[in-house]
Amino acid sequence: MIEVRWAVPTSVERVFAVLADGWSYAGWVVGAAHIREVDPGWPGTGTRIHHSVGAWPVAVKDVTKVLNVDPPRMLELEARLWPLGAARIRFTLAPTADGCEVTMAEEATKGPLSLLPASAQALFLTPRNRESLRRLADQATRRGTL
């Protein structure tokens, strides 16, 4: 799995609150264009976010499903984007003296992207996931202040 870490100057609970808000994903996940629906009970195991990725008119509609959750420490997802495939993404949150460290680990598990070696996946995933975590941190630190 390709791992990226980001220090967030707020609590684990505030960061997890953003992860637990399925409607927020289009605001911080790089590439997500629109959230069409969030299943009741998100982020419970098996619940899904119905999303679109890409720009109109070629936006692709698919879903992201919760595989495992341990609030407020961990959330593991399967993000689908056919025809490219699917990826397993795990967010791990750990308290630090200054707030929280978020680790985002991702690997392509299905489709053509899964055939790429980890080093090739890292060329795309590392900068994308670093930017996603930066946006997640922005939302978590602003949450409750707007």
Q: What is the pLDDT of residues 4-63, one digit of tens each?
A: 999 999 999 999 999 999 999 999 999 888 999 999 999 999 999 999 887 777 788 899
Q: What is the structure's pLDDT at 131? A: 97
DSSP string, 42-91: TTSTT-EEEEEESSTTSPEEEEEEEEEEETTTEEEEEEEETTTEEEEEEE
Q: What is the pLDDT of residues 52-73, one digit of tens each?
A: 887 777 788 899 999 999 999 9
Q: What is the pLDDT of residues 80-113, one digit of tens each?
A: 977 778 999 999 999 999 999 999 999 999 988 8
CB hemisphere CA count around 121 (13 angstroms): 23
Q: With contact defined as beta carbons under 8 Å apart, do 44 and 12 qualify?
A: no
Q: What is the structure's pLDDT at 145? A: 52
The CATH label, of 3.40.50.300, 3.30.530.20, 3.30.300.30, 3.20.20.140, for the domain at 2-142 is 3.30.530.20
pTM: 0.93
